[in-house]
Structure 1
Amino acid sequence: MLDPRDRLIVGLDLPARAAAEELVANLGDAVGIYKIGMQLTFSGGFGLVRDLTDAGKSVFLDMKLLDIPNTVAGAVEAIAATGADFTTIHAYPQAMRAAVSARGDSGLKLLGVTVLTSLDDGDLSEAGYQGDLRDLVLRRAEQAAEIGMDGLICSPKEVAAIRAAVGDALELITPGIRPAGSDAGDQKRAATPSTAIRDGADRVVVARPITRAENPRAVAEAIVEEIGTAA
């Protein structure tokens, strides 16, 4: 069983490295895993990966890779060299195969992004997809397991169905997490931390409810406590 503290991933969705470092210092030992996404990476945060790992933190470099196989493979090799623990690939079979083949023995965990939590059936239809969002998520989950991915990024709304479909073959990580009373923002398929954990999530990702809080550490500690009671 994972320690509740290691089941919370804090998204450093901040505009600059200095702000991220300030938040990490504020959170202290309340948090063990941090997610660095596109905004921070392109604002001087790439070097923060090594600093966090040197400090004993785990790093989730959220790049959501999708390109031709050669490009995806090269990116995975470069990410593995940073010391990051996790990275993301959009769960298209071709991209996932390239990522798995390029990882080598680095220990980098590859997470397939099923369908972004800001999307719903209407958004998929507008983008040209046919069929139900849930069916697409489950198909991508099955493909990820077959290809040898380590886990999935999936909405808490689909986590129970994915767990039933793939069992323990994949680690399930859910963004779109909002503590009770929080603003959902642009998340269309959100849930509370305890709901996600009870439905089968291994870890949850929380960003804005913590990064925008007056007391980020208190919010993080409350989420960890909620996770512990739900596990």
Structure 2
Amino acid sequence: MLAAKDRLIVALDVDTAQEAEMLVAQLQDHVGVFKVGMQLFNSEGPEVLKRLHSLGARIFLDLKLHDIPNTVGQASAVLTGHGVYMFNVHTAGGKEMMEAAVRASVETASSLNLPRPLVIGVTVLTSINEEILRNEMGIDRTVEEQVVKWAKLAKESGLNGVVASPREIRVIRETCGNDFVIVTPGVRPAWSAKNDQKRVMTPKEAVEAGASYLVVGRPITAANDPVEAAKRIVAEMEEGLKC
């Protein structure tokens, strides 16, 4: 079983490689994975991945690929070639698209003799609540029903797991099994503000519910002491793992 530290993903939601490198240097011994999202990747490009890898960072590349199957397959091959630990696609892109991502990732990792990255599907964003899902997106299901539908589709498509809010962890675990990876944003310790996340839990609650990895950004990166904040979150996760 992964240790609590290795389950913690820190979101590097910054503009520059220098800022990201500073955070990695500070936190490398206290967390397992660093998330590079659209903000940093679009600012610095693929070079930032090389720079963070040179520091020993494991990277979750959070670009949420969503396009026709051929395009997503080609992009997945490129991302796999960057040597990332994990990357994601949108489950809303459908089964053929997700299968293309998995196939390209497996083939590229094999041809380059690289570890195969985890390919994860994004379900319903944690900023989306039931009102938005129904009234703005036109989906006449509850959030939980839609998350489960997309999680099952992701598993059928060969994905390693999904990104889902803490509130859907238990039902995904029941539906998709113990080996299915659940990456959980929307995690906020009791001492931190919720910001724009709507469906949230504490780190202890999320781990107890069955999350594989927790994504935490501002409660760590915006803290006066990021290392101490990471340690506090890991301690909360350890409590959850003991339950």
Q: What range is the shorter-chain TM-score in?
A: over 0.9
Question: Aligned partners of 2:40, 2:233: CA distance in 1, in Å?
Answer: 23
Map 1:129-148; keep pairs closer than 5 Å: 129-148=139-158
Map residues 170-185 of structure 1 onto 2, 5 A cutoff.
170-185=180-195
Identity among equivalent positions (%) equals 42
> Equivalent residue for 1:68?
68
State which drifts further: 191-200 or 89-98.
Answer: 89-98
1:154 matched to 2:164? The reply is: yes
Aligned length: 231
Give the secondary structure class of the aligned counterpart of 2:167.
Answer: coil
Equivalent residues of 2:96, 2:157 under 8 A apart: no
User: Alignment RMSD, CA only?
Assistant: 1.2
- Checking the alignment, whether the CA contact within 8 Å between 1:178 and 1:193 is kept in structure 2 is yes
Partners of 1:205 and 1:168 in 2: how far apart?
19
Deviation at 1:32, TM superposition (A): 2.5
Q: What runs of 5+ residues in structure 1 fail to find an aligned partner? A: none
The reply on whether 1:202 has 2:212 as its aligned counterpart is: yes
Per the alignment, residue 99 of structure 1 pairs with 101
Q: Tell me the alpha carbon deviations over residues 180-217 of structure 1, each in whole angstroms, 9 at most, x when there is no partner.
A: 12111110101110100000001100001111100000
**2-side partners of 1:134 and 1:24: how far apart?**
34
- 2:128 maps to 119
The amino acid of 1:120's aligned partner reads: N
Change beyond 3 A, Cα 1:49–1:134: same
CA distance in structure 1 between the partners assigned to 2:217 and 2:8 by the alignment:
10
Dislocated runs of 4+, deviation >6 Å: none
Give the aligned partner of residue 221 of structure 2. Answer: 211
Q: Select the residue among 216, 232, 238 that pairs with 1:222.
A: 232
Task: Please list every run of 5 or more consecutive structure 2 residues that lacks an aligned counterpart in the other structure.
Answer: 110-115
Distance in 2, Cα, partners of 1:59 & 1:85? 5
Structure-1 residue corresponding to 2:113? none
Once the two structures are TM-superposed, the CA of residue 52 in structure 1 deviates from its matched residue by: 2.7
Structure 2 residue 52 is the aligned partner of structure 1 residue 52? yes
Deviations 1:107-143 (A, max 9, x none): 0110000100000111111112122111111011111
Q: Which residue identity is paired with 2:164?
A: C
